[in-house]
Structure 1
């Protein structure tokens, strides 16, 4: 039976979570920017883990999904602190962290902070440094000026209503950049990346793989794959990737 509840964030904001019991290394799912824990990948993983008796945790960052707070008040630092609070309070022992898009960046930050708790990482179109490299660097001057002047700009989205890109998000992101040097993670890392992703180019995945210190890094490039990687084929690949990691872990 899946447990649902809330956990206080470091600033007291209630964070919604869902958790499945089990034995052995657990799986933690971290969603993307402006997404929530009820998406297709999270639901697939819940079913996958339940069938195997594997512990599973998913949660919504502040301002996302069923959690409290406002989305426009969020930053990479704040959302990482949310995920860290959930990892430490709601899981025991080693975990396999699956991070989608922004969740991949947060997963890397957690692995650097808590190497003993993070046994392996799976990044689905992982997007470290996206606020700087995939947003700010590509915004035209007029958009940059609007963000600096007004504090926010509403970005059109292919996935729903426009959402705010705030000055705080951009400036805080610069305190958490990873791709400018070596990333001192020794755990196994698996990267699943679509070659037709319009949001995170496949070259970004190769750049991340090259920056990681771990000797056990594999990139799977999905021909025709989009940013979400949530087709039945893509979800099966995710399950196969996790199964191999769990077997390698001796589970």
Structure 2
């Protein structure tokens, strides 16, 4: 696809340079009130959550990442005071002088709605993306590429609006523990567990790692409409699933990875 995804006023004038960070606005009063930490504030009503997502451009207002949390700017539960922030950006802003004023500006001009933002390096798309599961094997328009022990490890769905964020769900289990939904419809850890999992966004990749580093998932945005599962390691009781450059393995034993199209489930192991 030659063109980057556009739609709903998103992605006007795509350019080659990916905006890796949003520059801190200049001239904030040093005595501005600071919210420490930026409180989680998930609207209870789905209509209000949709309002926040639309206002923020369907991604973190600071960097554009499409895995995020709902956080209040000043402590108010008003939907117009709530922003989408990915965990690294929330951590970077917490306790920083002028954070509240900066977030108000970012909410008015979220990075994902700025014309210079290149969404081609993140999971924004016009429709449900295809997924490279292992090198040479692509699952096309398959919402649940991998079921492990009956649990969908990764879920993919079309964005809310053309050009918006691909809907992503991720369920992982570290060694010896039960599976946990770490991402639900792009929302990071909606059921809690901040100390158990970490989220990083180096370049075009999302990296999710358990606290003991036994479980990990690396998802890369290759082109608009195409993602790649570069690494997966998760558990089901005493069984371990690994997927990556060496194919798919259960407890070290190779298993076939099918190339499928328009199936609900790609493979069940």
So what's the TM-score if we normalise by structure 1? 0.25
So what's the TM-score if we normalise by structure 2? 0.24
Query: Larger relative contact order (C-alpha < 8 A, sep ≥ 6)?
Result: 2
More helix by share: 1
More strand by share: 2
